[in-house]
Each structure stands twice: as structure tokens, then as C-alpha cells.
Structure 1
Amino acid sequence: MVAENPLFAGGRYYKKFKATVINDIWPEVLFFTLVGVMVTMVSEMTSTSLAISNQMLTVLGTVLGLVISFRTSTAYERFSEGRKLWTNIAIASRNLAQIIWIHVPFDRVDKASGMKKATLPIVIEKKSMINLVQAYSVSVKHLLRGEGGVYYADLYPLISLLPRFSTHVEHASEDDMLPLWRASDMDHDVHKTIREDTIKSVSRANTAPLPDTKEDFGEQETRETQSWANSMRGRSHKKKFDPELALPVFLSEQPLRPARNPPVSSFYDYFPFLRLLKPIFKQVSHFGDKPAPEPTSARTRNFMGKKIRPEAADSNVPMEIALFLMTYYSWLMRQGLLTPASATAMNNAIASMQDTVTNLERIKNTPLPFAYQAHLRISLWLYLFFLPFQIYSAFKWLTIPAAAFASFLLLGFLEIGQEIENPFNYDLNDLDLDNFCLAIQRELHEVTAHTTPDPESYIFTEWNQPFAPGDRRSAKEMLDDVAHSYHGVDTGMHSIRRTLLKSWRDVDEITRQ
């Protein structure tokens, strides 16, 4: 996402150029500029004047300006709402991780044997569920980008522990595959078949996939890492940016797609007018050879430079992950490991995450009605077409730059509304979903780095001065000084309140100018 002021922010100006809508509107601007050239040349160089009355210019211009403003404002509201909803996912993920890590107890007793359970299995259990919380936001990112399935370098390592079949390994078949994994196979042509060796080797208890060879995985991992690093290389010149190194390493039974796979930039993205000469360049570069047709999936813009919108893909991955989180919540309740308040907070956090995804899908799958967009664009085209005819009598030769500027201005605002209407793709003006997911990942790891210590282990130490500035002694010194009036049966609380009032007076005096 490019958000800096391009007039004052330095570096990577080519990227800022790509973030504009010039690539999308230049054919239309060129056309209406040529209309202005035609009107001016005919009127100046012949005896025929193409000027017409401009009585309708002000009225239609005002109406179109208001409609375009409404169109842009509506699109920005969707953009802003998308950002707020991603904030809700971050908040719910953080709250859910804190509940799992802190409120689910580490100290447990085995009901069968009456013995205290070991700490390590409990920590593994809680950390694994927090990894699923992280996987939830990643799966939502891929869902919003129309990338179905689970076989991605940033998602698969987090959910590879989940069961693949509804029955035991000796009876497992393709028909027994659970929706999470079967939907992933159906979403992509490369995943339509399941290798028999994988089905025979994977069970509910042990779902570690078995690749064909270690060498194949090494090549796959290197390719995915390079793809992510190359796409994010502009973030840091001092070190290689590769967030996948922070993920678990598993050998997947199917090829993993890159965590981030934006369209590849080409020379024509920076010089859009040269697209008109692209067929000639292709013929010259393949002189004597028949040029291979470019696959439709690899094209990001059409012949005139308009963006080709990616096709949407169905994906139930976020819902499946939420089901496992809710199953864990239900198991905690049956085991009596959650207090009612913590249980309510955990249930609300999971429900909030699911509500947020539903609202994000609403933004993605509910564009502005086609009739409204078509009528607005046709009305604007007619207005810009007849504009040179109406302003020629006043502008003469300036009609040409005036028509170019007016078309650039109005078409630009219209195209901006079209672009930010769905802010979840790879456009430079879209929301930076990758960074949002990485921020959630960092926060969840920070939560699990907390050691949940007993408050008494750090409150009553020499590093705590609770009554400062009224009393700058440490908590340990105050507890050891048993002769002080703080410890008196009748004078203790009175003396403490006097100290707190002195702290208030000191702070009030020190902090005021």
C-alpha cells in the first residue's frame, strides 16, 4: 500500500506512479483529447464552426460532479470499513490468545489417576491453539484475495496438524476426506487428485505429510521463499525480508503456493501508451518464430491497459478453523478449565472473528450495482465528448488542454472509486493484508512469551516504588520496616492515605507549568 505524500516522500517513485490510475484512464483521456483536437482544428482551419451553446454545461457539470463525489465517497467508506474490520480481527485474535494462554490453567490434575499433569503437554496444547488463531487471519487474507484452499506457505504449516479424514487410517479414502482438505483439492487444478501414498500414510493421530523426495521439497521451499522475498524486497535494503522463516517447517503432500503472489510488473506498466505498440514488439522479438499465446491467467491488464479483476474462489478455511477453535472451547468447558467470565469472553472473541469475516465478505462480494456504474460512466463519456464543442468559442486553442485536463480529472476520480471499492487485492492502493497478518503473528508470539508469573514474585521487590513521589521507598523496604506507622493497627491506613495525598499534591505541582 502506498500512502506517503508523493511530493515530499522520497524513494521508489516508479512504485508511486503505479499506484496512480493513469494506467487505467489514459486511453479514455487520449480519446477525449483527440476529440478536442478535432473540434479545434476543424473550427480554426475551415469555415465551419463546431461550437455549440454551453447552456447545459454548468448544470450537467454540477450534477456529474456530485454523482462522482458520491461514487468516490461510497468506495472510500468500503475501504475504511475494511480497515476497521481487520482491526477487529486483530483485537479478537489478541484477546483470544490471552484467554487461552493466561486463563486456561497450566496446573491440572488427571481425573483418572489423581496425579498432577506434566507442564509440557499443556503448553504444547495451548500454543497449538494459538497457532490456529494466527492461521485464522492468514486464511481470511487468502479468502479475500480469491485464493482458495490451504496449500500456501504461510498457512499450511500452521494447520497441518488438523485431521484430514473422518475415519481411521485403515479405512480412509478420498471419500472420507474432511471439507477443509477436500475443498482445497477442488479449488485448484493441480490439487484435484490425492496421492495414494499420502492417504495410506496419514491418520487422525499423525497427520505429518510424506513428500516424494527431500530434494523436491528443498526446491519447492527455495522457490516459495524467493517469491515472497522478491515481492517484499523494497521494504528493507539492509537485510533480506522473509517472514516465512518464522513459521514451522513441514513437508507438504502437495506443492505450496507463495504466501504473497502479486501480479508481475512489466515495462508497459510504467509507459502505458506503449501498449499500443505491444503487438509490433512481440512480432519483432519473435521474428521467424510463432509467438506463444500468453495465458489468460498471467495477464493482469487487457490490450488497452485496463486491469483484469481476479476471479473469486470459494473457501471454507476460516469457518473450518473457527470450528476447531470452538471445539477446543467446548472441550475446556467440559473439563471445567474455564471460569464463567473467561468462557464468555472466549466465546465472544470467536464469534467476533466469524462476524468480522462475514462483513469482509459482504464488502468483497457486493459491488455497486452495474446499472448505476454503467449509467454514470456513459453520462460522463457524453459530457466529456460534447465538452470541447461547448467551450471552443471561449477557449479557442486552449480547448485541447482543457479537454485533456477535464477528462483526466473526472475519469480519474471515477476510476479511483472503482479501484478502492474492493480493497483486498494486490493493487498498490489496496489494504496491506500481509502486514496486518504479520502484525497479528508478532502479537500472538508476544502473548505466548509471557511467563504468567505469580504477582507476589514481582510486586514486593526493591524495583517497585508504589507510593512515589510521596514515599520513594521500595515495596520491600516498606514491608521490612515493621516499626513504621504504615504497620500500625490504628494508624496504618491513615498514614498510607496521608502519603497518597502528598503524592497527589506533589504530582499536581510538578506537572503544571
Structure 2
Amino acid sequence: MTDGHGAPPSDAPAPAAASDSTAAPVPADLRSNVHHHAAATHEKEQASSIGRMTPRPTFLENLATSRDSQFQFDRRDSSELDRYFHGPRNMEKHSKWPIMMRMHGSVMPKMILPLLTVAIWSTAITVFSKKVHSLGINNILLTVLGFVVGLALSFRSSTAYERWADGRKYWAQLIQTSRNLSRTIWINTAEREGEEGRDDVLRKLSAINLILAFAVSLKHKLRFEPDIAYEDLAGLAGHLDTFARDAHDRMVVNPPPKSIWKSAGEYLGVSFAESNPRKYVKRSKKPLGHLPLEILNHLSAYIDSCVANGTMLSTLHQGQAITMMATLNEVLTGTERVLDTPLPTAYSIAIAQISWIYILVLPFQLYDALKWITIPASIVAAYIILGLATIGSEIENPFGHDVNDLPLDTYCRQIAVEMDIMTATPRPDVDDFMSRAENLVLFPLSQLGYPDWQQRSLEDIRGALRTKAVVGPSSAASDTSTMVESLRPKTTTSSV
């Protein structure tokens, strides 16, 4: 029995493949997530001239319409406060507020409780010193301890930013490699005649989608999201036999909502309220595999098939494709290195302890000189010191959901848009776009097109090129027409 769209209902078990008894069936609840997309796609295909095709009960049903809903910057069930203080950062928006007054991306929410603690502590020290007995000490410790704290914070900030910058470099390399590999597949891979040519186009599109799936799966892996049924990934890689599909758990994709106390604790930076980012990876009851690596395996198999069927004959393009596959693997390894090699725990603990010792001792050193001003002075000093330490802790992992983390959703959407642009037109025909009359080959020296210059002799063309070099690109064509005529042989009668 079907659900009316050519696919089994969501509560029915997936039929076993006749040709491969060992293939794992697609989980029923995963199929139900994409059936409504498949229905819309099926209706569009019925009304089109392409013809009616029965959709398969796989993730490919979601491919045609998944682009309309994927890569959302804001979570639909989140509040304005959640979207303001949490990422990913929307690079398309711009704030006109002065930088010192901006809260979007600031660590101020996480500074509230520490600053409140410092305020209470400095007030207690000041009041006791004023009413009971002076607790002021020599401020020589300001110089000695301040130097140590400065070195510690400098080390913390530099190592954290280095990891952030390395993460950005690897994603820039991923975008560049995705462009090159997609162009090699779409332009440099031939398409055969007849039905084989149609299959070649569909396979090329599938391979390009796998390149995008690699980027999206890498994003989820770096965020410790081990499933495959995410909205931006299911339609791209759900048809592959992977460990992630076999280990699918709907609780990972749709976790229960957080309580107000837990959300408030995360906003304020309370360590007891923060969840272990690897909790879904640890709780999995089945092997999760390595989805980005498995996608690379499928891409490699596609390249081999192109070599075998003769659509990629050039050894240069074959070598380039294999090299770019290795580059994608290098990006995968590099981002994992950034993620799994944080600052050693001993350094993190020592820097935190040194900073807090300095802040707690500060009121004793300031009281003799500042009296009641000790309270605001201690708060300002704590904001500077703890602020730098908090920033270093936040950007240490650049792949998360915080505002200051890398906008991985934006990078993936950029790759998707560029691939759509690339595949929107077939491979350009050189004879077509070169010989157009709009091709002003000697612009701005001449307003004549390619066909007009094609009728002239090679000596005329070289003479015009020399004139163009002498005149320079800043001169208008009307100013150089007389000079071109003077350099052209007398037998030439047409004008430039």
C-alpha cells in the first residue's frame, strides 16, 4: 500500500533491495521527512513537458525542493533573544551602531555573573576596610602580577585566534576546491549521444551534489551532529549506503526543547548548564562511521566510472580530479585537527586561575589609593581581563553556533548557489561565443566585433594591436580611430 505518491507510508517497513540483500533499508521516519517534498516535486513533473516519472522512496525525492528550505540562518522555534546572541552570523546584514555599543557578538551576557561576583567581593572588601579595619596592601603586586596576567592572556588570545584563522583557511580551500572540481566535472567531462548523454548529465549533477554534500556533512561533523536526516543534508546524501543513515535517530535531529533555566544558564555562561557537545556522538547505539569520508569514496567511484566509460579521456583532467579529491581529504583532516587539538587543559586551568587570583587580590591593592572608587575600578579591571579570557575561550572552537564562530551555513550556501549557476547552462560552445558580433575583440580601441575583424588580414590585426598598446586602454575609441587609419595599409578601406 502506498501513500499516494509512489512511496510506502511512513510507518511501513522499507522493502529490501532485490539486487542486494545486504543493503540497509531507509528508516521509515526518514522517508516520511521527505515524502511531502517528493509530492510537490511529483506534481511539478506531471505538469511539465519532461514527462511523468514515479519518485523512488529514497532521499533523492527531497533533492528538487530541498534548496527552498535549506541553509536557514535562524531557527524557526527560537526566540529573538536566542537569534540575537547566538549564531550563525548573518554576513548579509550590517549594523550602523558604533562598535562599542553593539551587543550582537559581544561576550557581555557571559560576563554578567563574573562581574556581579567581583562587584560583591570588592564591595565587601571596601566596606570592611572602611568600617572595621583597613585591608589595603602595597600595590607592588599590581606590577608583578599584571605582567604575568598580560602574558597569559596574550598566549590565550593568540592560540585561540590562530585556531579560528586556520579554520577559515581550510573552509576557503574547501570552497576553492569545490569550484574547481565542479567545473572539471561539468565542463571537462564529455556527454555522449542519446540516452547515454542524458545519463551522463544526471550523473554529473549527482556528483556535483555530492561535492555540496561533502561540505554540508563536514559542517555537521564539526558541530558533533552525527545524523544524516538534517534538512540541508538528507536530499543530497540520503541515497548513499552510509553508517550515518543506518544509525539515524530522530531524537538527534529533533531534540527536546530546552528549559528556560538551561537556556538562561547557557546565555550567562554557567558551566553547569552547558551540555557536552559530543553527547549525541556518545549516545549513539550504532557505529556512526565517517560521513564526509564515505562521500569522498562515492565521488572517487564516479571519477573512475568516467574514466572507464570514456567521458573523461584527458589524463590532465583525470589527474586534476584525483588531486582535488585529495585536497578535499586534506581539508577534512585539517579541520579535524583544529577541532580536536584545543589548548592543553593545564594551560586553560592555569590561565583561568591566574586571572581570577589577580582580580580577587585587586581590591586589597587599590583601597589605600582609591577608597570607595575601588569598587568600580575592580569591576572595570575584571571586565577587561575576563573579557579577553572569555573571547579566547569562545573562538577556540570556530565551528560552533556562536555569533563569533565561522558562518559555516553561509559558506555551504555559497557553494550551493555557485554550483546552481554553473549547472544552469550546458558546456559553452567555443565556436558560438567566440564568433558573436558582440565580441569586441579590440575594445576599447575598436567597436567592431569578431566577424568584422575576421574579414581583415593578419597584418591589420597586428597593426591595431600595436596601436592599442601605444594609445593605452584609457583612450576612447573615437579618439584613436584616426591613428588606426594612419597605421593601416592603404588597401584597407573599411573604418574602425
| RMSD of equivalent CA atoms | 3.0
Q: Does residue 115 of structure 2 align to residue 37 of structure 1? A: no
Q: Decide whether aligned partners of structure 1 residues 330 and 66 sit closer, same or farther in structure 2, where only a CA change above 3 A counts.
A: same
* Partner residue in 1 for 2:192: 107
Q: Which of 425, 437, 443 pairs up with 1:450?
A: 425
User: What residue identity is the alignment partner of 2:231?
Assistant: A
Q: Using the TM superposition, give the Cα deviation of residue 508 of structure 1 relative to its aligned residue in structure 2, in angstroms.
A: 4.9
Moved more, 394-403 or 150-159: 150-159
Q: Using the TM superposition, give the Cα deviation of residue 437 of structure 1 relative to its aligned residue in structure 2, in angstroms.
A: 0.6
Q: Decide whether aligned partners of structure 1 residues 24 and 386 sit closer, same or farther in structure 2, where only a CA change above 3 A counts.
A: same
Residue 96 of structure 2 aligns to a residue in which SS? coil
- Aligned partners of 1:97 and 1:130 also within 8 Å: yes
Deviations along 1:377-412, whole A, 9 cap, x unmatched? 111111111111011111111100011111111011
* Partner residue in 1 for 2:235: 157
Q: Decide whether aligned partners of structure 1 residues 62 and 8 sit closer, same or farther in structure 2, where only a CA change above 3 A counts.
A: farther
- Aligned partners of 2:160 and 2:393 also within 8 Å: yes
Deviations along 1:269-326, whole A, 9 cap, x unmatched? 7xx7xx7xxxxxxxxxxxxxxxxxxxxxxx7777678644522636511011000001
* Partner residue in 1 for 2:212: 134
Q: Which of 342, 345, 349 pairs up with 2:324?
A: 349
Measured in 2, the distance between the counterparts of 1:379 and 1:455 equals: 67
Q: Using the TM superposition, give the Cα deviation of residue 358 of structure 1 relative to its aligned residue in structure 2, in angstroms.
A: 1.0
Measured in 1, the distance between the counterparts of 2:278 and 2:244 equals: 21
Measured in 1, the distance between the counterparts of 2:383 and 2:391 equals: 12
* Partner residue in 1 for 2:141: 56
- Aligned partners of 2:182 and 2:208 also within 8 Å: yes
Measured in 2, the distance between the counterparts of 1:263 and 1:80 equals: 33
Q: Does residue 472 of structure 2 align to residue 507 of structure 1? A: yes
User: What residue identity is the alignment partner of 1:329?
Assistant: I
Query: Where does 1:219-368 land on structure 2 (aligned, <5 Å)?
Result: 257=253, 307-311=274-278, 313=281, 316-338=290-312, 339-368=314-343
- Aligned partners of 2:109 and 2:267 also within 8 Å: no
Measured in 2, the distance between the counterparts of 1:3 and 1:158 equals: 24
* Partner residue in 1 for 2:39: none
**TM, length-normalised to structure 1:** 0.68
User: What residue identity is the alignment partner of 1:181?
Assistant: R
Query: Where does 1:7-86 land on structure 2 (aligned, <5 Å)?
Result: 9-10=96-97, 17=103, 19-46=105-132, 48-86=133-171
**TM, length-normalised to structure 2:** 0.70
Q: Using the TM superposition, give the Cα deviation of residue 506 of structure 1 relative to its aligned residue in structure 2, in angstroms.
A: 2.5
Measured in 2, the distance between the counterparts of 1:460 and 1:61 equals: 72
Measured in 2, the distance between the counterparts of 1:190 and 1:384 equals: 43
Q: Decide whether aligned partners of structure 1 residues 344 and 473 sit closer, same or farther in structure 2, where only a CA change above 3 A counts.
A: same
Measured in 2, the distance between the counterparts of 1:103 and 1:472 equals: 33
* Partner residue in 2 for 1:396: 371
Q: Which of 243, 264, 274 pairs up with 1:179?
A: 243
- Aligned partners of 1:465 and 1:472 also within 8 Å: yes
Q: Does residue 393 of structure 2 align to residue 418 of structure 1? A: yes
Q: Using the TM superposition, give the Cα deviation of residue 330 of structure 1 relative to its aligned residue in structure 2, in angstroms.
A: 1.7
* Partner residue in 2 for 1:437: 412
- Aligned partners of 1:149 and 1:315 also within 8 Å: no
Q: Which of 120, 145, 149 pairs up with 2:198?
A: 120
- Aligned partners of 1:75 and 1:421 also within 8 Å: yes
- Aligned partners of 1:263 and 1:426 also within 8 Å: no
Gaps of 5+ in 2: 1-87, 282-287, 477-496
Measured in 2, the distance between the counterparts of 1:449 and 1:7 equals: 31
Measured in 1, the distance between the counterparts of 2:317 and 2:310 equals: 12
* Partner residue in 1 for 2:62: none
Q: Using the TM superposition, give the Cα deviation of residue 121 of structure 1 relative to its aligned residue in structure 2, in angstroms.
A: 1.5
Measured in 1, the distance between the counterparts of 2:339 and 2:278 equals: 12
- Aligned partners of 2:110 and 2:269 also within 8 Å: no
Matched residue count: 379
* Partner residue in 1 for 2:20: none
User: What residue identity is the alignment partner of 2:113?
Assistant: P
Q: Decide whether aligned partners of structure 1 residues 159 and 308 sit closer, same or farther in structure 2, where only a CA change above 3 A counts.
A: closer
Q: Decide whether aligned partners of structure 1 residues 389 and 432 sit closer, same or farther in structure 2, where only a CA change above 3 A counts.
A: same
Residue 17 of structure 1 aligns to a residue in which SS? coil
Measured in 2, the distance between the counterparts of 1:427 and 1:317 equals: 24
Q: Does residue 221 of structure 2 align to residue 143 of structure 1? A: yes
Deviations along 1:98-143, whole A, 9 cap, x unmatched? 11111110136xxxxxxx6542221111111111111111101110
Gaps of 5+ in 1: 109-115, 165-177, 192-256, 276-298
Percent identity of paired positions between Structure 1 and Structure 2: 31
Q: Decide whether aligned partners of structure 1 residues 335 and 381 sit closer, same or farther in structure 2, where only a CA change above 3 A counts.
A: same
Q: Decide whether aligned partners of structure 1 residues 131 and 57 sit closer, same or farther in structure 2, where only a CA change above 3 A counts.
A: same
Measured in 2, the distance between the counterparts of 1:117 and 1:189 equals: 39
Residue 103 of structure 2 aligns to a residue in which SS? helix
User: What residue identity is the alignment partner of 2:471?
Assistant: D
User: What residue identity is the alignment partner of 2:308?
Assistant: R
Residue 510 of structure 1 aligns to a residue in which SS? coil
Q: Does residue 348 of structure 2 align to residue 373 of structure 1? A: yes
Deviations along 1:130-169, whole A, 9 cap, x unmatched? 111111111011101100021111111112332x3xxxxx
- Aligned partners of 2:109 and 2:269 also within 8 Å: no
Measured in 2, the distance between the counterparts of 1:419 and 1:21 equals: 9
Deviations along 1:350-381, whole A, 9 cap, x unmatched? 11111101111111111111111111111111
User: What residue identity is the alignment partner of 1:154?
Assistant: D
Q: Decide whether aligned partners of structure 1 residues 411 and 190 sit closer, same or farther in structure 2, where only a CA change above 3 A counts.
A: closer
- Aligned partners of 2:359 and 2:382 also within 8 Å: yes
User: What residue identity is the alignment partner of 1:90?
Assistant: I
Q: Decide whether aligned partners of structure 1 residues 190 and 509 sit closer, same or farther in structure 2, where only a CA change above 3 A counts.
A: closer
User: What residue identity is the alignment partner of 1:384?
Assistant: I
Q: Using the TM superposition, give the Cα deviation of residue 472 of structure 1 relative to its aligned residue in structure 2, in angstroms.
A: 2.6
Q: Which structure is richer in relative contact order (CA contacts within 8 A, separation 6 or more)?
A: 1
